[in-house]
């Protein structure tokens, strides 16, 4: 989300209690979605948002990274993500 008068960037990771099934269009398969990554940024943070989206995409391809997030409960994830 882009927010007026917000001069920062926040990444929120939501872990769904009940995963939802969704189609992965590029692979023509159905998969369970249990993690949602949200980025909240000021309107002028375009480059930062693009870099974050790229980093999240790369990290999300690693099962080890996703497994660490799934195991955490209510703790900050900075050490896991490396920001």
Gyration radius (Cα) of the chain, Å: 14
What pLDDT does residue 83 have?
Answer: 47
What pLDDT does residue 77 have?
Answer: 62
What pLDDT does residue 51 have?
Answer: 93
Residue 69 has pLDDT above 60, yes or no: yes
Give the pair of three-digit tokens for residue 83. Answer: 């920001």
Neighbours of 22 (CB within 10 A): 10
What pLDDT does residue 25 have?
Answer: 85
Closest residue by Cα to residue 34 from 23, 20, 48:
20
Mean pLDDT across 11-38: 90
* DSSP state, residue 26: G
Residue 81 has pLDDT above 90, yes or no: no
pTM: 0.75
For 32, residues 6+ apart whose C-beta sits below 8 A from its C-beta are 19, 20, 21
């Amino acid at each position: 989300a882009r927010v007026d008068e917000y001069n920062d960037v926040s990444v929120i990771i939501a872990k769904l209690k009940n995963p939802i099934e969704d189609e992965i269009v590029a692979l023509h398969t159905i998969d369970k979605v249990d993690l949602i990554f949200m980025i909240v940024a000021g309107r002028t943070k375009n480059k930062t948002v693009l870099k974050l989206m790229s980093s999240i995409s790369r990290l999300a391809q690693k099962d080890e990274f996703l497994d660490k997030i799934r195991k955490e409960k209510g703790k900050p994830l900075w050490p896991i993500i490396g920001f």
